[in-house]
Each structure stands twice: as structure tokens, then as C-alpha cells.
Amino acid sequence: MAEATVAERSPMNPDFVGLMPGLMADPYPLFARLRAGPPVFWAPKEGAWVLHRHAEIEAVLSDRGFRVTELAEGVAEIGERTGKPTPILSGLLKTFLPFINPPDHDLARRYYRAVLSAGSMDGAAEAITALARDLLAEVPPGGRFDAVTGYAELLPPLVMAWFLGLPGSLIRDYALASAELGRVYDRGCSPRFLARMEAMLVAQRVPIQHEVAVRRAAGPDASTDGLSRMIALADELQPMTDHAIADHAMALIFAATENTAALIGNAVAALAEAGPQCDLSVADDATCLAAVREVLRFDAPVQQMWRVAQHEVMLSGARVAAGDRLLLLIGAAQRDPAIYSDPDQFDPLRFATGTRAWRSLSLGRGMHYCLGSELGMLEAAIALKLIARRKPRPDPAQAITRDDRSTLRRVRHLPLILIPERSDNHENI
Amino acid sequence: MKTYDAAQVQSWFTRYLADFVDLPESAVTPDATFAALGFDSVDSVIISGAFEEAFDVEVDATLFLRNDDLRSLIEDLRASGLIA
């Protein structure tokens, strides 16, 4: 039976693999070539259907007949079979919304949504601005500055520390220690890698669980910070141990820092690489937010998503069977010429006029739409606005490098030269 | 970094993969694709793990995904410097 089904899978692309090193460095030329072929094809090397156009990907993301792949299960199976169990990593992945399905998903989403509810963001813009300014104050005379290691990857942990009411150094250390954790979204992480992540999480959870215990002991009215709210909401919605709350806090921090760091880094890189004709040095908040939307289209952090079909379905000529896996090339859909004119052009003002609808898929769709999107985009817009005033340009003496990862596209080093801060900058913000 | 010779690594893989799928070693030729041998994605991680233990290295996550047979895997390990 299985062989018959495989034989029926067409159209087929025998060579496609979504993890090729060249694809990670610059996936867009390949995406352009895929457009000349069928919109949905079977990739035997992936054991999955591959989708690359906006229309099919949007339809699949919006359809509850497709479930996400449950990473925790695969990681747990590897741990069992190799004798290197990773219960903390598996437990953390079970609280991670992009990789869990209903009913667990709905309960966890309700919880995170309550934690991130509107009132909790009061003062966020001011806090983010102050933190970003502090980071830019560290730019040395001469203006040479790595805008990833000195800015993009530091700001989101500091913002989460502000949100949760925890020491900035604690969250920064966790974010930097867990920087490699996102590789588990890519396929094939080895048992030694997973064991290394397990050991990292065991160590990193100690201080966070301690903070939970301190707040629990102090009682519900002792503090109003985000972590206290997580405890109070857990007691209200689904009573949890300190350990489980620490897991949820760690998942929240991880989700809120990694993608946002990637978004800020990709945004600043796009701006710097576009050259002087792309000048946002006097741009206002709305223009910077529009520019961030364009970055989510032009060079989205989340490049790939996976789904599993729950029932047989025809997708643009391909017969997808129940149980088949689908690889959604989000980065390709974001440059679909059927949706966007001149899609390979970075145009920070593309969404600034309000005449063009923003239909990004990079934050997901439907029930998996990113819960932290507003906070993440606010952080990125402020970060972009403040650094744009320093007219960043690439440092010709050093190369811009990107992570060799397929799911998350992220600048690793972004050496720039910034002009000195103008004394009137502060009044303009 | 410790290095190994290609024959040593190839012979380890041939023996391990043959055991894994319960086939004679002669079935695991350098050109036999991992898919044809019946490995799924979790299997490939298990194989990575056994390789890590046998040679005391941590392998790159995409090693098995970017190579679909033993010949290209060995070449890849040579390019990475593990095989002299």
C-alpha cells in the first residue's frame, strides 16, 4: 500500500532538499527557480510535499485540517532510543505554541494570551526606547559596531526582563546560552546536540525557577510584574508547579527573544545593505513600523513551517494523503509576484502609504498566528528607528554573516559603521 | 581535531547500517541511498548519535539530510576535516 501511494505522488522534484547550505546563505534565487515549476511538488529526499506560493501556503495555514509537527515527540523518541533522555527539553517543547496541537495548544495559548494581554504592555514603547538607547550608547568613538551582538540580540532579552520583572542579566544570559536551541526546529539535530541543550536548560532553569518560588512565597499581592502575573494566571486557569511555570516562562522568553532578535538583525541588515538611497534617518514611528512589515516580507526570520495533513486533499493538482507532511517555504511566498510587485526589491515604504495590504505569512496564520507579534514588531520598529538615525552602513573591512540554519533566517554578525549621535536626536523621539 | 581515515569511517558505517536494517553488508554499497535502505528522519538522527559515540564528535544537524548515500557522506566528512 505504502509503495503504491509513493508512486502516485506527483509532480515530483527528486533533488529538492530544504537544508542545503547554499539555500541557507541565500534562498531567494532557488525560490525564483521553483516558481517556474509546479506550485506543489513531492520532494522524496524530504519525504514531504513542498509549497512555495502565497495562495497554497495561506490556504494550508488557515485550515485546521493540517496539524503542526510535534517536536517534543520526536526529541523524546531520540532520547529514548539513544539512552540520552532529554525530559527538560521535551517538556519545554510541549509548552511551545508553534509545535503543539489542540487540545494542549488551546490551553497553553489561552494562558500565554492572558499573560500578554493588553494592559501588560503599558509603557512598553518607553521602556524599549530607553533600553535601545542604552545599547547604542555603547557604540565606540569611530562608530564601528556589530549591530547583532551589540544590539539586535541584546534588546529582546532586556525587554523580556522588563516585562517579567527579572534582572536583565539573568534573561540575557539565558537568551545567549539558548541561542543554539532553535536548531531543534531544523531536522536532524544529533543526540549529542540535544543532550547539550538539555544540560544548558537544566542549568538555566535554576535561577528562573528560584524567582518563581520567591514570588509564590511572597504571596499574590506582593508584586505586579509579569512573572507574578504568570503565577496568578496559572493559579486561575490551570494550577501549575513552580517547575511548570518556569518552563512556560522559559518558552515565552525564548519565543519572544529569538525571533525578535532575528527580525531586528534582518531589518538593520536590509537597511544597511540597501545603501544611502534607503534613508530612514528622519523616519517617524509609523514609517519604521511599515519598514518592519517590509522586512517580514522581504527577509522573514521564519522561513519554513511544517504541517501534517489530517485527511486527503487536492492542492493545486497534487493529491495529498492523510498523514503526509508539508514543507511551507514562507520566504518564497513572501516574494510571490502574484501578490507583490517587484518582490525582490527591498522597499521600506511599500506598506507605508496604506494603499497596499500587508498579507505577511511570516507570523503565521489562523490559530498559530504569533501571539507576540505586536510586541516584537514594536521592538523592531523602535530599534530600527534609533539606529537609522545613526545612518548605518556596512563596515567594508568585515563581512556580514548569517546563521547556517534553515528554519530561522538570522544575521549572525552585522559589522556596521554608525555616524555619531546628533545632540538633537533625543528631542525628536 | 582528531581525524580518521576514509576506509575506517566507511567500514564503520557499512557495518552499522547493515546491522540497523538487518541486511548483509554487501547491500550497503556506497551508492545505495539511505531512503532506499529504509531510513526515516528519526533513524538518521539515531545513526548520527551512534557515529558521534564511535568517533567522539558532534555531527552537524544536516549531515544526513544533505547527503543521501554513503559516498557523498564520506566526501562531506572529508570536506569538514574529520576524515584526513
B42–A77 C-beta distance less than 8 A: yes
Residue A220 has pLDDT above 90, yes or no: no
Contacts of A155 (CB under 8 A, 6+ apart): A128, A131, A132, A135, A260, A261, A264, A379, A383
CB contacts, 8 Å: A74 with chain B: 41-42
CA distance A98 to A69: 9
CA distance A196 to A217: 32
User: How confident is residue A428, by pLDDT bands cut at 50, 70 and 90?
Assistant: very low
Across all residues in chain B, what is the average pLDDT? 87
Residue A6 has pLDDT above 70, yes or no: no
If you average pLDDT over residues A348-354, what whole number do you get? 88
A196–B61 C-beta distance less than 8 A: no
CA distance A136 to A129: 11
CA distance A316 to A373: 30
A186 Cα to chain B: minimum distance (Å) = 8
Residue A237 has pLDDT above 90, yes or no: no
Across all residues in chain A, what is the average pLDDT? 91
Q: Could you confirm whether domain B6-80 is CATH 3.40.1010.10?
A: no
If you average pLDDT over residues A199-204, what whole number do you get? 96
B46–A74 C-beta distance less than 8 A: no
B66–A19 C-beta distance less than 8 A: yes
Residue B42: what residue type? V
Residue A80 has pLDDT above 80, yes or no: yes
Residue in this structure with the C-alpha cell 559596531, named with its chain if needed: A145
CA distance A414 to A421: 19
Residue A1 has pLDDT above 70, yes or no: no
Alpha helices in A275-314 (DSSP H): 285-298
Angle of helix A71-82 versus helix A191-218 axis, rounded to 10: 120
Contacts A–B by Cβ distance under 8 A: 68
What are the tens digits of pLDDT across the range B27-64? 899 998 887 888 877 888 889 899 998 999 888 877 88
A224 Cα to chain B: minimum distance (Å) = 42
Please report, for the domain that includes residue A355, its CATH number. 1.10.630.10
CB contacts, 8 Å: A47 with chain B: 35, 40-41
What are the tens digits of pLDDT across the range A226-235? 999 999 999 8
Q: Which residues pair with A428 in a beta bridge?
A: none
Give chain A's domain count. Answer: 1
Cβ-contact B2, B83 below 8 angstroms: no
What are the tens digits of pLDDT across the range A50-76? 999 999 999 999 999 999 999 999 899
Residue A5 has pLDDT above 70, yes or no: no
B82 Cα to chain A: minimum distance (Å) = 16
Alpha helices in A299-335 (DSSP H): 330-333
pLDDT reported for residue A426 = 52
Q: Which residues pair with A415 in a beta bridge?
A: A146
pLDDT reported for residue A101 = 96
CB contacts, 8 Å: B49 with chain A: 78, 82, 84, 190-192
If you average pLDDT over residues A152-159, what whole number do you get? 97
Count the residues in chain A.
Answer: 429
Q: Between the CA atoms of A181, A183, A189 and A192, what dihedral angle is there, to the nearest 10 degrees?
A: -30
pLDDT reported for residue A3 = 41
User: How confident is residue A4, by pLDDT bands cut at 50, 70 and 90?
Assistant: very low
Q: Which residues of A54-92 are buried (b: 16+ CB within 10 A; e: fewer)?
A: bebbbbbbeeeebebbbbbebbbebbeebebbbebbbbb
CA distance B71 to B84: 15
Which of A197-206, A270-279, A403-412 bottoms out in mean pLDDT, i.e. has the lowest?
A403-412
Residue A427 has pLDDT above 60, yes or no: no
Residue ranges per structural domain of chain B: 6-80
CB contacts, 8 Å: B63 with chain A: 188, 190
A188 Cα to chain B: minimum distance (Å) = 5
Angle of helix A168-177 versus helix A155-164 axis, rounded to 10: 130
How many CB atoms lie under 10 A from the CB of residue A259? 25
User: How confident is residue A355, by pLDDT bands cut at 50, 70 and 90?
Assistant: low
Count the residues in chain B.
Answer: 84
User: How confident is residue A12, by pLDDT bands cut at 50, 70 and 90?
Assistant: very high
If you average pLDDT over residues A293-310, what whole number do you get? 96
pLDDT reported for residue B40 = 79
pLDDT reported for residue A20 = 67
